[in-house]
Amino acid sequence: MLMAPILGALGRVPAPFLLVILLLRLSPGSPRPLDIEGTQAPQKCVLAGVWVNDLGSRMSISGPDAKGAFSGSYLTAVSASSQNPIQASVITGLQHPATAAGGQPTFGFTVHWTFSDSTTVFVGQCFVGADGQETLETSWLLREKVPSHAEDWKATRVGQNTFLRVK
Ligand code: BTN
């Protein structure tokens, strides 16, 4: 068991040092706490991974880099344009740091649909439940290409999606 020697050693450390160590562990940006097996728990609300929304659409995200930029692919379960079969499409996005005070960062991403002339932008926030479940609450605008300026009025749809992490 890893914990017994650690607890024994901690008993010999003066209390003020223990307090400093505890505060360093809790401060934003510090290394993540060790879980029960002594391994590092995955950072919550870093968007990298696989997510599925309430429509059954699936997105896979890589990154983010040091500036919060991420990329990925989006496989929608539904389409507004019936001409072409659905294909996985490219995601480009930016998220605020998950390590900033309180975590639960906001983010935005664009889906450039490869099987239609449309574009969707999503904005959202990641929330962590008491059970550790990460949920992305998003709102989106879907812009369709219309053949004439006169049809611009009907080109944009708006909606919301909730995503849960599956990987
Ligand atoms: C198109 O129909 O031309 C592209 C696919 C659009 C799919 C939309 S984007 C917003 C909503 N959320 C999804 O997961 N799919 C639909």
The whole-number average pLDDT for the span 33-55 is: 83
**Distance, CA 110 to ligand 1 centroid (Å)?**
11
Best residue among 84, 116, 140 to mutate for probing ligand 1's pocket (most ligand atoms within 8 Å of CB) is: 140
The whole-number average pLDDT for the span 68-90 is: 95
CA separation for the pair 12, 6 (Å, rounded):
10
* CA-161 nearest atom, ligand 1: 12
Record the pTM. Answer: 0.81
Task: Give 13's contacts (C-beta < 8 A, 6+ positions apart).
Answer: 21
Query: Is residue 123's pLDDT more than 50?
Result: yes
Residue 25: predicted pLDDT:
44
* CA-122 nearest atom, ligand 1: 10
Cα torsion angle, 101, 124, 137, 132, sign: negative
Residue 16's pLDDT band (cuts 50, 70, 90):
low
Residue 74's SS3 state is strand
**Distance, CA 79 to ligand 1 centroid (Å)?**
5
Residue 13: predicted pLDDT:
57
Computed over every residue of the chain, the mean pLDDT equals: 85
* CA-111 nearest atom, ligand 1: 9
Residue 42: predicted pLDDT:
76
Query: In angstroms, what CA-CA distances link 39 with 7, 32, 42?
Result: 16, 10, 9
